[in-house]
Structure 1
Amino acid sequence: MSDENKRESAFQDVGLILMLALFCALAILMAVSGNLLLNILYLFLTMGILIITYFFGLITSLLTNFLFIAVQVLIVVYQYTVQKADVHWELAFWMIMPLILSVITYFMTRNQIKLQESNGELRSALVERGAFDEETNLRTTVAYVEDAGVFVETHRRFELPVATVIIKIRYFDDLKHMMSSNQLQALLHLASETIKAETRNNDITYLLNVEDPTWAVLLYSDAAGAGIAANRVKAGFNKQLLENSLLADLAIYMIAGVVQWNDDTMTTPYDLIDAGVRETQYDF
Structure 2
Amino acid sequence: MKNKRLSLGADIAYMILLVMLFVCVAFIVFSENVSFNVAALCIVFAILIISHFTAVTFGLILNTVVIFAGFSWYLYRQFSYGIPIQSDFYFWVIVTPLLTVISNTIFRNMLQIEEENIKLRKWAQHFSIVDDMTELKNIQAYEMEFPVYQRIAARYKIGFMLIVWQFRYADDLKRIIGKKGMEQTVAELSKVMANTFRREDVVYILSKDPYEWGILLLTNENSEELLKTRIKEKMQEMDFSEILGKNAPRLDVRVGVHFIEEDEDTPLLALEKAKNKLQYDV
Higher CA-based Rg: 2
Identity of aligned residues (%): 20
1:219–1:226 Cα contact (<8 Å) kept: no
Among 226, 239, 249, which residue is 2:237 paired with?
Answer: 239
- The equivalent residue for 2:132 is 134
1:208–1:214 Cα contact (<8 Å) kept: yes
Cα 1:253/1:147, change in 2 over 3 Å: same
1:257–1:278 Cα contact (<8 Å) kept: yes
Shift of 1:163: 0.4
Shift of 1:128: 5.8
Shift of 1:279: 1.3
1:223–1:259 Cα contact (<8 Å) kept: no
The one-character-per-residue Cα deviations of 1:23-49 (angstroms, maximum 9, x if unpaired) are xxxxxxxxxxxxxxxxxxxxxxxxxxx
Shift of 1:148: 0.9
1:164–1:226 Cα contact (<8 Å) kept: no
Cα 1:269/1:167, change in 2 over 3 Å: same
- The equivalent residue for 1:252 is 251
Among 170, 179, 189, which residue is 1:172 paired with?
Answer: 170
2:166–2:213 Cα contact (<8 Å) kept: yes
Hey, what's the Cα distance between the residues in 2 that align with 1:215 and 1:126?
22
| Other structure's SS at 1:251 match | coil
Cα 1:157/1:279, change in 2 over 3 Å: same
Aligned-residue CA RMSD (Å): 2.2
- The equivalent residue for 2:93 is none
Hey, what's the Cα distance between the residues in 2 that align with 1:249 and 1:260?
35
Partner AA of 1:182 in structure 2: K
Partner AA of 1:133 in structure 2: D
Partner AA of 2:179 in structure 1: S
The one-character-per-residue Cα deviations of 1:184-207 (angstroms, maximum 9, x if unpaired) are 112211221121121111111000
Hey, what's the Cα distance between the residues in 2 that align with 1:151 and 1:267?
12
Shift of 1:242: 5.5
- The equivalent residue for 2:195 is 197
Alignment of 1:106-185 (within 5 A): 129-185=127-183
**Structure 1 alignment gaps of length 5 or more:** 1-124
Hey, what's the Cα distance between the residues in 2 that align with 1:262 and 1:199?
22
Shift of 1:169: 0.3
